[in-house]
Amino acid sequence: MHDKLNRMKEQYESTPIPDELSSLVNRTIAARRKKNKTLPWLASAAAACILLFAGVNTSPVLAQAMSDVPVLGNIIKVITIREYTEQDDQTNLHMETPGITNLGNAELEQTLNNKYLEENKKLYDNFKDEVAQLHKEGGAHLGLDSGYEVITDNEQLLILSRYVVETAGSSVESRQYDTIDKINQMVITLPSLFKDDRYIQTISDNIKEQMRQQMQDNPDIVYWVEQPGVEPEIPEDIFQSIAKDQNFYINQDGKLVISFNEYDVAPGYLGVVEFTIPTEAIAAELVSNEYIR
């Protein structure tokens, strides 16, 4: 088991990783604001082909997966560039790494794809450490399942969700999202949707209202939120505010959805929880209605 994990790790570590995604995104946003959206189509297409055929040549799993490549919009494709499955009496491992092709911005495309590779490489490193500790202690079963799905795909937006489910007796799920403007070839961040930081309080207050209403409507639902006249059992767990860069996506109806990982704001039996924010509640803070409607 250790030899196989080491070989997988070596394969991942051979992939060069860019320094920072944020710097590239900032440059892309700056370019968009200057209305400079011209990029050489031939260069971006060639970069996509290099990524695609290099992946096929080095991964038999990718070659097999190519027959089921989903086409997003007219051009952009999401493919599985790496996939591994390992299983024995004490461990169960399955990982799929997504890759985006034909985005039209070769630099952004490569940065995103390398980021996905780096994410799964880190998961491998952590899993290997846990497996080593498991063998020392003769402990329980360990499992790791990572993959991806397309949340939204329309003429303008591609939203890719990556999920991780870690199992050690019980399971914990976490998710990350990338919201990509296909037309303007840029990644959209939560702060970029709003005029200033006032959105943090506005969204947080709306989520608290939704939490209390859901708990009132269904006694089986529990959120860690302050309630009038109720003393919290663990005050430090009470939900206060979303993060400035909170997990989010924009659904097919053009609504903002805020996402929390398992155990962030509620007991684990609720899993990953999401709150759709009414557009009228945030309309005053939005930069525009280009994305949120």
Domain boundaries, the chain: 2-188, 192-282
Angle, alpha carbons 130-134-137 (nearest 5°): 140
Q: What is the pLDDT of residue 27?
A: 52
Q: What is the pLDDT of residue 49?
A: 36
| H or E segment to which residue 249 belongs | strand 248-250
Token pair for 139:
């402990």
Is 32 within 8 Å of 184 (Cβ atoms)? yes
In a 3-state reduction of DSSP, which class is residue 84? strand
Nearest residue to 47 (alpha-carbon basis) of 102, 98, 97: 102
Q: What is the pLDDT of residue 60?
A: 40
For residue range 73-101, list pLDDT tens digits in order: 447 999 999 999 999 888 899 999 999 99
For residue range 215-256, list pLDDT tens digits in order: 999 999 999 999 887 777 777 789 999 999 999 999 999 999
Residues 6+ away with beta carbon under 8 Å from 284:
none
For residue range 62-76, list pLDDT tens digits in order: 434 433 444 444 479
Q: What is the pLDDT of residue 133?
A: 86
CA distances from 86 to 56, 71, 291 (A): 21, 29, 41
For the whole model, what pTM was predicted?
0.75
Largest CA distance in the chain: 64
Q: What is the pLDDT of residue 46?
A: 36
- The rounded distance, in Å, linking the Cα atoms of 141 and 92 is 8
CA distances from 43 to 57, 103, 133 (A): 21, 12, 47
- CATH classification number, 192-282, choose in 1.10.1200.10, 3.30.70.60, 3.90.640.20, 3.30.460.80: 3.90.640.20
The one-character DSSP state at 19 is: S
- The rounded distance, in Å, linking the Cα atoms of 184 and 182 is 6
Q: Which CATH class is domain 2-188?
A: alpha beta
- Flag residues of the chain having pLDDT under 50: 1-20, 25, 28-29, 32-74
Count of beta carbons in the 10 Å neighbourhood of residue 22: 12
Beta bridge partners of 152: 159
- The rounded distance, in Å, linking the Cα atoms of 17 and 151 is 26
Q: Is 218 exposed, middle or buried (0-12, 13-18, 19+ CB in 10 A)?
A: exposed
Q: What is the pLDDT of residue 122?
A: 96
